Amino acid sequence: MLEVGTTHYLVLSFLLFAIGVVGILARRNMITVLMSIELVLNSVNINFIAFSYQLGDLTGQIFAIFTIAVAAGEAAVGLGILLALYRLRETTQLDGATEMSG
């Protein structure tokens, strides 16, 4: 039977991380971008939990709990900015937000 080890978790978390980063950079809808940000933070959580289990050390789990809490705060701030964007422009697409040349 296949043994699921730390490496598998690392591969999974790396894939999630990559998907998240690509999503943040490439997607044009703010909601999708927010989801991608959550994906990145959760990939980090997987890492922390996997390492914590492997090392028999609790620090990783504590770190993960803090990450979850901060991710919630980040999501709230992001949604707030998104709401302001929506009120100004009636859209959640980021293409509209090009007042200043990037």
* Contact footprint for another protein (CB under 8 A): 6, 10, 17, 20-21, 24-25, 30, 33, 37, 40-41, 43-44, 47-48, 50-51, 54-55, 57, 59-60, 62-63, 65-89, 94, 97-100, 102
The nearer residue to another protein, 1 or 69, going by C-beta atoms, is 69
Give the Cα separation of 66 and 53 in Å (integer): 17
Give the Cα separation of 41 and 99 in Å (integer): 29
| CB proximity list for 61: less than 8 A, separation 6 or greater | 48, 49, 52
Give the Cα separation of 99 and 92 in Å (integer): 15
Least gap, CB of 1 to another protein (angstroms): 25
Residue 12 backbone phi and psi in degrees, to 5: -60, -50
Where would I find the H helices in 1-58? 6-26, 30-55
The nearer residue to another protein, 1 or 49, going by C-beta atoms, is 49
The nearer residue to another protein, 1 or 64, going by C-beta atoms, is 64
Least gap, CB of 34 to another protein (angstroms): 9
Least gap, CB of 17 to another protein (angstroms): 6
